[in-house]
Chain A
Amino acid sequence: MEIELVEIRDFLAQRPPFDALPEEQLDQLPKSLEIRYLRRGSLFPPGDAVKGYIYIIRSGAIELLDEEDNLIEKLAEGGIYTTDCQLIDFSQVTHGIAVEDTLLYQLSCDVLKSLRMTEPAFDRHFSESIRDRLKQAVRTLQVSGETSPIAEMTVEVSDLIRKSPVSIDINSTIRQAAELMSEKNVSSVMIMDGTELAGIITDRDLRKRCIAAGVSSDRPVSQIMTTNLETIQESTMAIQALMTMTRLHVHHLPVKRGDSVVGMLTATDLARHHSTNSAFLASDIRKAATVEDLARVSERLPDLQFQLANSNASALHIGEAISSITDSLTARLIEMAESELGPPPVRYVWLCGGSQARREQTSHSDQDNAMLISDEMKPEHADYFEILAKRVSDGLNACGFVYCPGNAMATNPKWRQTLQIWRKYFNTWINKPEPMALMLSSIFFDLRPVYGEVEIFNELRSDILSKTRGHGIFTAFMAANALHHRPPLGFFRTFVLIHGGKHDDTFDIKHRGIVPITDIARVFALDQGLPQVNTTERLEAAAETTVLSRDMGENLVDALEFIASIRIYHQAEQIRKGLKPDNYMSPEELSDLERKHLKDAFRVIQEMQDAMENRYQGGRFV
């Protein structure tokens, strides 16, 4: 190579996809280029081009537009335009315009083709679909770095449990169960009624409910077994299982895959695996006697988030870990309140909403909660629940989960009601959707029980889902609502490029990246009557129905994971610097590759929003 073209070589070498070329190819590359200059206002690509080229912007800026002159993309230094070589990247783009005086490098499609044939890493940049690129991006996020003890808490329950569950028929005697337990050397046994899990018996049950209580060991196991079991899914994270055990004060949790029982998780299984840090957190929550104790535990939440982020836990798992700790804190606050106020006069269940309910919380978000009380409630019970709600909400606030600015909390009498009233609320929201309901939708259409009588909530939930399922008008309103938050188009130099060609210095990664996906997933879940609340689970379940293709479902899941990870890293960096974590990101924080992947993720959202606009004709109601 002529040494003086080093400058051009170095310019290319810094940028994808050319950074994937080996040295000797890079050295040769400048010789294959041609240089053109476009004055501001000129059409792009240059109309007189004699053959197909890809264009690389050396200096200046190009706007790419669709048929109707809508801005699709804006290229700055290093930007590449590949459409003329029959590559799919900007399929909507029909023309472009130089918006600054622009120096262009052009490389003929023939040269590009031969480079792609000899250099697989280079080729991948052009041949991979958005889908493959996102998948790869998510994978890269998770394999970099070593797994630390903290990350071990992000292993799934299925990795910890014994493979074959020990179970016995419900008609067996207590002695038979005890013999089986001795033989298999286990501390618990599952009691099966046919294929259904009816209950469990533990060593402790044998001691307390059989021997100490003087019950004959010839009696059926059903007499001493524990029923009404909390179970966990095998995909649950270890840390979440630990928090569930802490909250319920149990040492055994049956594990399910879908509806079928696959094993039993014991506290010992967990003890072998959990990291000291989260174990201390769990035991400190359990031991906490006062709100102050809990507040001190809660102060460590940002640290935990930081450590999880550093140990390459996925955003999905970090959200679950933080949410389950918040669950445990909430449950402990309720226990403390109940022990002072006495047992509740009627059955009730404490519900959380929003990101905690979706198990997508980052540390110390605002609290969103509600109380669902049995219809047996009498007017004289109101005081009890009011005081309870206030204790818990104040406690959460003291723990850093500040009061909800929209007052969507159990302390608000409106959101502390009986099943009957809650049914009416949802009935109105679903049948007469109005802006207020839509505002609340991200809180109250994502509800999850945290403490109390889950059955009451299950009743409400099946009622809600039976009403929303296939409800055209309601779904259209929800779909229109899901189009409110649009992702940015991409990045342009140090700016964020938004629709209409405007620039911003920063962007709100939560509202422009994460919220659009959670909104989309909620529309699908309600339209299809799916019980899932977690966004990833909603998308996976929706992808099994006709409403969402499997490809698009996977794309959205990957897009969410990538965007959420970028947000987690952004917040981890702020935590490290002792700042309060927020959602405002500047493009300067992002590497070229991250920008590219984020742009892919935004494009997936955009595509889905466009499809949704058509499908539900959401645009009509905006």
Chain B
Amino acid sequence: MLTRFLGLDSIRKRALAKAEPGILHDYLSTPLTAKTTQCEQLSIVSLDLETTGLDPNKDKILSFGLVEMEHMTIKLETARHQLITINEEIPEQSAVIHQITDDQAATGVSIHDALQELLQRMAGKVMLVHYSAIEQNFISNACQKLFGAPFVIPIIDTLVLAQRLFERRNHTIQPGDLRLFNLRPRYNLPNYKAHNALSDAVATAELFLAMASEMVPQPSQCQLKRFLTR
């Protein structure tokens, strides 16, 4: 575990060396959250992106939604939802899912400004997502393109945590079992009708609180390393 953490921090330092001065450089200059940090002391950003597709090389980020957590408490005052302008038409098959229209997207900010806000908010914190491949790869790809270096952050992935819990109990995982809205009822969490970046970020944050209290019932024994998936 220790080597893996050192690995992440050396990845950060390597990226810092490559990054052009500016937003990403500033971000990478901030030390990562130590994995021995007590849960109560953690600053977590629960994040969800809507994209035009699943391929970070081809597809674009359409919006982000996030909410911050401190003291294992979700602070709704930090809730943010931001649309991002893309210079192409939104493919119909993805519009069906995220329901963002071209007109709405046109009211958004540039990917540059969006990344600026995300990086400022996430510096020194932990990123919480459900299925980290999307968020990690899309943000990292965009950073690589715009600022010349990848995005590096400790990640808690509730999908991976759920997978581990299922495996530990020898449950066979059925298709769909690990989806955010199928996991929530197992923890007596309410059913949210709306699906968009912010409501999914809030839903993920709630799911994490529930999973954390199951995995580590004693708050005093709760440390970040128990949940890190990167």
B-side contacts of A101, CB under 8 Å: 187-188, 210
- B106 lies within 8 A of chain A by Cβ: no
A26: shortest Cβ distance to chain B, in Å?
14
Knowing A4-B65, A48-B219 are in contact, say whether A36-B80 is a contact too (CB < 8 A).
no
Establish whether residues A31 and B194, one from each chain, have CB atoms under 8 Å apart when the complex forms.
no
A-side contacts of B81, CB under 8 Å: 2-4
B72: shortest Cβ distance to chain A, in Å?
7
- B165 lies within 8 A of chain A by Cβ: no
* Residue of chain B at shortest CB distance from A101: B188
Knowing A7-B193, A100-B188 are in contact, say whether A34-B198 is a contact too (CB < 8 A).
no
Contact of B198 (CB < 8 Å), options: A5, A32, A50, A103? A5
Chain B 56-81 per-residue mask, 1 if CB under 8 angstroms from chain A, else 0: 00000000010000011111110111
* Residue of chain B at shortest CB distance from A60: B188
A-side contacts of B214, CB under 8 Å: 39
Knowing A4-B199, A6-B194 are in contact, say whether A31-B76 is a contact too (CB < 8 A).
yes
Establish whether residues A33 and B76, one from each chain, have CB atoms under 8 Å apart when the complex forms.
yes
Knowing A2-B198, A48-B40, A59-B188 are in contact, say whether A103-B80 is a contact too (CB < 8 A).
no
- A305 lies within 8 A of chain B by Cβ: no
Classify chain A's interface size.
Answer: 20 to 34
A42: shortest Cβ distance to chain B, in Å?
8
**Residues 452-488 of A at the B interface (beta carbon under 8 Å):** none
* Residue of chain A at shortest CB distance from B210: A37
B5: shortest Cβ distance to chain A, in Å?
27
Contact of B77 (CB < 8 Å), options: A4, A31, A39, A59? A31
* Residue of chain A at shortest CB distance from B200: A4
Give the distance in Å from the alpha carbon of A19 to the alpha carbon of B100 in the complex. Answer: 31
**Residues 31-52 of A at the B interface (beta carbon under 8 Å):** 31-39, 42, 48, 50
A459: shortest Cβ distance to chain B, in Å?
67
Establish whether residues A37 and B65, one from each chain, have CB atoms under 8 Å apart when the complex forms.
no
- B21 lies within 8 A of chain A by Cβ: no
Chain B interface, DSSP helix/strand/loop, else mixed: mixed
Give the distance in Å from the alpha carbon of A31 to the alpha carbon of B81 in the complex. Answer: 13
Establish whether residues B76 and A35, one from each chain, have CB atoms under 8 Å apart when the complex forms.
yes
Establish whether residues B79 and A37, one from each chain, have CB atoms under 8 Å apart when the complex forms.
no
Establish whether residues B188 and A2, one from each chain, have CB atoms under 8 Å apart when the complex forms.
no
Contact of A31 (CB < 8 Å), options: B71, B79, B205, B210? B79
- A490 lies within 8 A of chain B by Cβ: no
Knowing A2-B198, A37-B209 are in contact, say whether A30-B192 is a contact too (CB < 8 A).
no
Classify chain B's interface size.
Answer: 20 to 34
A78: shortest Cβ distance to chain B, in Å?
11
Establish whether residues B196 and A8, one from each chain, have CB atoms under 8 Å apart when the complex forms.
no
Establish whether residues B73 and A4, one from each chain, have CB atoms under 8 Å apart when the complex forms.
no
Give the distance in Å from the alpha carbon of A333 to the alpha carbon of B86 in the complex. Answer: 91
Establish whether residues B209 and A8, one from each chain, have CB atoms under 8 Å apart when the complex forms.
no
Establish whether residues B198 and A35, one from each chain, have CB atoms under 8 Å apart when the complex forms.
no
Establish whether residues B77 and A32, one from each chain, have CB atoms under 8 Å apart when the complex forms.
yes
A-side contacts of B73, CB under 8 Å: 34-36, 106
- A538 lies within 8 A of chain B by Cβ: no
- B206 lies within 8 A of chain A by Cβ: yes
Give the distance in Å from the alpha carbon of A48 to the alpha carbon of B77 in the complex. Answer: 20
- B190 lies within 8 A of chain A by Cβ: yes
**Residues 101-140 of A at the B interface (beta carbon under 8 Å):** 101-103, 106
Give the distance in Å from the alpha carbon of A420 to the alpha carbon of B144 in the complex. Answer: 108
Contact of A7 (CB < 8 Å), options: B40, B192, B210, B213? B192
B100: shortest Cβ distance to chain A, in Å?
12
Give the distance in Å from the alpha carbon of A8 to the alpha carbon of B193 in the complex. Answer: 11
Give the distance in Å from the alpha carbon of A106 to the alpha carbon of B74 in the complex. Answer: 10
B-side contacts of A4, CB under 8 Å: 65, 79, 81, 194, 196-199, 202
Give the distance in Å from the alpha carbon of A102 to the alpha carbon of B217 in the complex. Answer: 14
- B97 lies within 8 A of chain A by Cβ: no
B-side contacts of A37, CB under 8 Å: 187, 206, 209-210, 213
Which of A33, A35, A50 has most B Cβ within 10 Å?
A35
- A58 lies within 8 A of chain B by Cβ: yes
Establish whether residues B71 and A50, one from each chain, have CB atoms under 8 Å apart when the complex forms.
yes
- B189 lies within 8 A of chain A by Cβ: yes
B-side contacts of A33, CB under 8 Å: 76
Give the distance in Å from the alpha carbon of A5 to the alpha carbon of B188 in the complex. Answer: 20
B-side contacts of A35, CB under 8 Å: 73-74, 76, 202, 205-206, 209
* Residue of chain A at shortest CB distance from B193: A7
* Residue of chain A at shortest CB distance from B186: A101
**Residues 149-200 of B at the A interface (beta carbon under 8 Å):** 187-190, 192-194, 196-199
B-side contacts of A30, CB under 8 Å: 76, 79
Give the distance in Å from the alpha carbon of A48 to the alpha carbon of B206 in the complex. Answer: 18
**Residues 48-83 of A at the B interface (beta carbon under 8 Å):** 48, 50, 58-60
A-side contacts of B197, CB under 8 Å: 4
Q: List 8 A-B contacts (CB under 8 A).
A: A5-B202, A7-B194, A34-B76, A36-B74, A36-B209, A37-B187, A60-B188, A103-B210
Q: Known pairs A31-B76, A58-B190, A101-B210. 9 more at Cβ < 8 A?
A: A4-B199, A30-B76, A32-B77, A33-B76, A34-B74, A34-B76, A35-B202, A37-B206, A59-B190
8 shortest A-B CB distances, which residue pairs? Answer: A4-B198, A37-B209, A35-B74, A39-B213, A101-B188, A4-B199, A59-B190, A2-B81
Hey, which bits of chain B sit against chain A, CB under 8 A?
A: 40, 65, 71-77, 79-81, 187-190, 192-194, 196-199, 202, 205-206, 209-210, 213-214, 217, 219
Hey, which bits of chain A sit against chain B, CB under 8 A?
A: 2-8, 30-39, 42, 48, 50, 58-60, 100-103, 106
